[in-house]
Structure 1
């Protein structure tokens, strides 16, 4: 039975480009894995707490040497790490807010990154495929005027791939504000094409991962 860990972090429950594309991926995934399991976390609707001192120190302290406060604080980190380790594939909706990821997604990362377990020399979930839907209102692609302001893919590639050892792929629906921002009216056609390709890529990657896991 295949398990998908699905994280959404968009503030918007409706009309979110990243949520729409992750929904397409998940629909196709569930079609391929009708008896599978989905672990879902809506990080905007139910945000995780920021990493605090006791929880951080617990990650560097042997279980039998933790204080009662550290042990209690580590329960959530242990649960999140276990969800990551259980997953056969991971799906993350990561819209660009102020040039980077939502703070709710950063909170999840801070909680789940545990040196000597999920991170370090032998990350416990190493090799797990992860598809990140990195939506953005404009374009930050190579060669565009704002290329240097892109800190979603650049950051997540390092922390998910280099830090957690995951096999990272991106789907990038861009120019998502074209239909609501008059200044971007000339970009509507490009925006629609990007949206269509994102949904196509989501379905294709879900099928490809299903075949890969079945092999």
Structure 2
């Protein structure tokens, strides 16, 4: 059975560009695999607990030696790792907030990384394709004045690919503030084109990745 792990982290609800684009991807994926499974985590609506010293230490403690608190903390981490490992593809909505990812998404990353399992010499989900919708209010592409402020793609490429071994690609709808910020009025046309392209790319990538999953 085809399984998609879908994670959203935008805090803006129905106004969210990243949520709209991940929804487009998911709709196409489900059209290709109507009997498949979607594991969905809305990190804004149901944030995960921050990684604590107790939860981190539990991963390095033998199961039989864990306290009840460590066992409970580890149960969540193992659940998140299992969700990642069971996925045929991963879809992440990662809007830029203050030049980087949402804190809730960072928490998911902190919790799902387990040394010797999801990260290490042989990451358990290595090779799984991951599509990240990295929306942003302005533009941080190479050659723009704020290129050096981009810490979403730079970070996620390193941790998702370099750490977890996922095959990461990005869809980047930009200039999303153009219609609400008068100072960006002359960029509305570019913003609309970027959003439209993001939806087109999401449909194409979902169809292509779904086609690679045999059930």
Is this a same-fold pair by TM over 0.5?
yes
Whether the 8 Å CA contact 2:2–2:214 is kept in 1: the answer is no
**1:119 paired residue number:** 119
Question: 1:54-203 counterparts in 2 under 5 A?
Answer: 54-203=54-203
Deviation at 1:69, TM superposition (A): 2.2
How far apart, CA to CA, are the structure 2 residues paired with 1:182 and 1:198? 23
Name segments (4+ residues, structure 1) moved above 6 Å: none
Deviation at 1:66, TM superposition (A): 2.0
**1:29 paired residue number:** 29
Deviation at 1:61, TM superposition (A): 1.8
CA RMSD, 1 decimal: 1.0
How far apart, CA to CA, are the structure 1 residues paired with 2:134 and 2:214? 27
Deviation at 1:60, TM superposition (A): 1.6
Q: What count of residue pairs does the alignment treat as equivalent? A: 215
How far apart, CA to CA, are the structure 2 residues paired with 1:184 and 1:72? 48
Worse overlay, 71-80 or 143-152? 71-80
How far apart, CA to CA, are the structure 2 residues paired with 1:72 and 1:185? 51
How far apart, CA to CA, are the structure 2 residues paired with 1:147 and 1:214? 40
How far apart, CA to CA, are the structure 2 residues paired with 1:121 and 1:130? 19
Deviation at 1:151, TM superposition (A): 0.2
Question: What SS is found at the alignment partner of 2:212?
Answer: helix
Unaligned runs of 5+ in 2: none
- 2:47 aligned with 1:53: no
- 1:59-92 Cα shifts (integer Å, max 9, x gaps): 1222223223211211110110010011010000
How far apart, CA to CA, are the structure 2 residues paired with 1:79 and 1:108? 11
How far apart, CA to CA, are the structure 1 residues paired with 2:123 and 2:212? 21
Question: What SS is found at the alignment partner of 1:55?
Answer: helix
Whether the 8 Å CA contact 2:135–2:172 is kept in 1: the answer is yes
- TM-score, normalised by the number of residues in structure 2: 0.98
- 1:70-128 Cα shifts (integer Å, max 9, x gaps): 11211110110010011010000000000000000000000000000000111000000
